[in-house]
Structure 1
Amino acid sequence: MDQLLAIRAFARVVEAGNFTRAADSLKMPNATLSKLVQELEAHLGVRLLQRTTRRVTVTPEGRDYYEKTARILCDLEDIDSAFTAARSKPHGQLRIDVGGSTARDVLIPTLPDFLARYPDIRIDLGVSDRSIDLISDNVDCVIRGGPLDNSSLIARNIGFATLITCATPEYLKTFGTPAYPEELKNGHRLVSYLSPQTGRAVPFRFVHNGEKTEIKVDHRIGVNESNAHLAAGLAGLGIIQTFTYALDDALKAGTLVEILREWRPTPYPFHVVYPQNRHVTHRLRVFIDWLLESFPTNINKNA
């Protein structure tokens, strides 16, 4: 038995939650992966995983073994990377997941610079506002805005975005321009952004003289994808609240007009997020470093 390979196979099953996804991420047949884990269990004399036809559950002994060996695997991979990075250029495939408007308006316009610096890196870009599981979906990192509450992930702040409230000139001519956030409750039509995680409308947030206000009213329409949310605002369906970087062209052209400027909410944090127990490859490390350098200079358009 190749014990190191067996440990890596077992760790990936734990992280992915089933044998099929683990085998796919390791690019090995499912039968080979299963045999490696069985040989490891026989070698240790304990059951690491409980298998049924529908799911795989980690035993208490398996959880303890995973936590102890995960640190060893990370240390080994860090040692390997330190030597290989010194001799080679970063290369290979990098899988990144990012929200719709952030991809369109911030990341994709700056990617030519990254690819020019690192021509041997290939990027697979997953674009959606939905929440994903980095391990089971085999993603190297995600770029997301807002607070983070998953302690099993590492998050690096890469910048802040400005949220503004706006509507079309035609909408404001018909319904009037609110002077205070509370006026949004008086007959105005709101286009809410629906959280892809909960399906609930994200409240309109405001800050004035340090005092925070949230407006929660029944929305005329709710949208759970950022590009479509902006399109609804441009169509005159109602008032929207979104990021300045997505509104750059519309504000310059006058197709959307900012309202309640004095009540702009606190700048919104953005992070690059990656798994705590997964090795940070050379290509992921240079991508994160590049984001820290380039992302903040692009995110606060029209702030």
Structure 2
Amino acid sequence: MFGHCVSLVEHMDLLALADFNLVARHGGFGRAARAATRPKATLSRRVADLEAGLGVRLFERGGRDLKLTEEGRALHERTGRLLSELNETAAAIAAGGDALRGRLRISAPSLFSQIAMGRLAAGFALEYPEVRLEVTTDDRNVDMIEEGYDLVIRVNPRPDESLIGRAFLRDRLVVAAAPALIRPIDGSAVRAVVRGSPDLSGDWNVITTSGRSTIAINPVLSLSSMVMVRDAVRQGIGAGRLPLSLVSHDLAAGRLVAWADVDEPDTNLWALYPSARLLSGRVSAFLTYLKKAFPTGSPNELAAFID
């Protein structure tokens, strides 16, 4: 699509490219002009010149909102971050230092956010006071480019050619219960607290010192989060499948007992970012901070964040 752009680089006006990205971010010439206190006509002329130089339409005009064409979306995705990095580098040089600054947007899953992200974010902000950190909680696979995230934390992500990153933390599931709840030895179903719909919950495959086996369950309570499941299991209403990190303190204190490990692969948390972008200093600093917080990536290191 943009294979011919290398030969056109010398015809690309950097200011026009910056104005194009400004209009793309704000979704219209008027909004971009008001945000930048620039004449609307100037922005329109620069974008038209850029389109003429590249020989492609970058916006679909018509209606109240501008829409990026396929070529416009590709150009915005590939140049927007580069221009931001240039601006930040220029600002750092002008300030006489190389301190990290600017916005860092992160999306993280709900359980990790509840357990650790508050303390992690506060510690990172203290270490890098010029970085404006924004963390949102979302268990869905957000679109990093469309939604403007610099980094996402995902649980066991599927392979994605557009993202690269590293696993920084691992956890595993255990079947835990209050000491007063007796595990049936005759194969009858045990009362269970499940996450999600009870209709989708089958018996639990587990691993014990004796080998692999199955625990038949009778779901008596269904809840939407692991923290809620843990709190209910503490009350003795039933057994639950829970992350080891979430119940480590309860197991050590005797409030819960572990019946078995769940026969499933470990849960791995990955920090991911788009491979199409250069790794920014802010993202690199946060990855380093994660490594410092979880040097071995063990469940006990995550458990240390739980009060």
TM-score by structure 2 length?
A: 0.66
Q: Give the AA of the match of 2:168.
A: I
> Which residue number corresponds to residue 246 of structure 2?
246
CA deviations 1:218-245 (Å, max 9, x no partner) are 8444434333333333344432222222
Q: Give the AA of the match of 2:195.
A: Y
Deviation at 1:8, TM superposition (A): 3.4
Choose which of 105, 125, 141 in structure 1 pairs with 2:135. Answer: 125
> Which residue number corresponds to residue 285 of structure 2?
286
In 1, distance between residues paired with 2:57 and 2:196? 43
In 2, distance between residues paired with 1:295 and 1:256? 25
In 2, distance between residues paired with 1:34 and 1:230? 56
Higher relative contact order (CA 8 A, sep 6+): 1
> Which residue number corresponds to residue 41 of structure 1?
51
Matched, 1:3 2:13: no
> Which residue number corresponds to residue 151 of structure 2?
141
In 1, distance between residues paired with 2:146 and 2:216? 35
Aligned residue pairs, count: 276
Give yes or no for contact 1:106–1:298 (8 Å, CA) kept in 2.
no
Deviation at 1:272, TM superposition (A): 0.7
Deviation at 1:116, TM superposition (A): 3.9
In 2, distance between residues paired with 1:201 and 1:55? 47
Give yes or no for contact 2:194–2:240 (8 Å, CA) kept in 1.
yes
In 2, distance between residues paired with 1:189 and 1:28? 61
Give yes or no for contact 1:106–1:245 (8 Å, CA) kept in 2.
no
116 and 75 in structure 1: CA distance in 2 versus 1, 3 angstrom threshold: closer
In 1, distance between residues paired with 2:56 and 2:108? 41
Matched, 1:19 2:27: yes
> Which residue number corresponds to residue 274 of structure 1?
273
Deviation at 1:141, TM superposition (A): 1.5
Q: Give the AA of the match of 1:190.
A: A
Deviation at 1:157, TM superposition (A): 1.3
Deviation at 1:143, TM superposition (A): 1.8
Deviation at 1:276, TM superposition (A): 2.8
> Which residue number corresponds to residue 299 of structure 2?
300
Q: Give the AA of the match of 2:191.
A: R
In 2, distance between residues paired with 1:294 and 1:164? 24
Give yes or no for contact 2:121–2:133 (8 Å, CA) kept in 1.
no
> Which residue number corresponds to residue 256 of structure 1?
256
1:149 is paired with a residue whose SS is: coil
Q: Give the AA of the match of 1:282.
A: G
CA deviations 1:195-217 (Å, max 9, x no partner) are 9xxx96698564579x9889897
Please list every run of 5 or more consecutive structure 1 residues that lacks an aligned counterpart in the other structure: none
Deviation at 1:280, TM superposition (A): 3.2
In 1, distance between residues paired with 2:214 and 2:99? 49
Q: Give the AA of the match of 2:118.
A: I
Deviation at 1:259, TM superposition (A): 0.9
CA deviations 1:81-109 (Å, max 9, x no partner) are 77859941112332222223322333434
Identical amino acids, percent of aligned pairs: 22
Deviation at 1:79, TM superposition (A): 7.2
CA deviations 1:89-148 (Å, max 9, x no partner) are 112332222223322333434555434432333332223434433333333222222132
Give yes or no for contact 1:161–1:299 (8 Å, CA) kept in 2.
yes
> Which residue number corresponds to residue 188 of structure 1?
190
In 1, distance between residues paired with 2:193 and 2:207? 20
In 2, distance between residues paired with 1:207 and 1:55? 57
What pairs up with 1:102-121 in 2 under 5 angstroms?
102-111=112-121, 113-121=123-131
Give yes or no for contact 1:77–1:279 (8 Å, CA) kept in 2.
no
Of stretches 120-129 and 213-222 in structure 1, the one that deviates more from structure 2 is 213-222
In 2, distance between residues paired with 1:190 and 1:39? 66
> Which residue number corresponds to residue 154 of structure 1?
164
CA RMSD of aligned residues (A): 4.6
Higher CA-based Rg: 2
CA deviations 1:46-103 (Å, max 9, x no partner) are 33444676994744x557x639x82x66667677777859941112332222223322
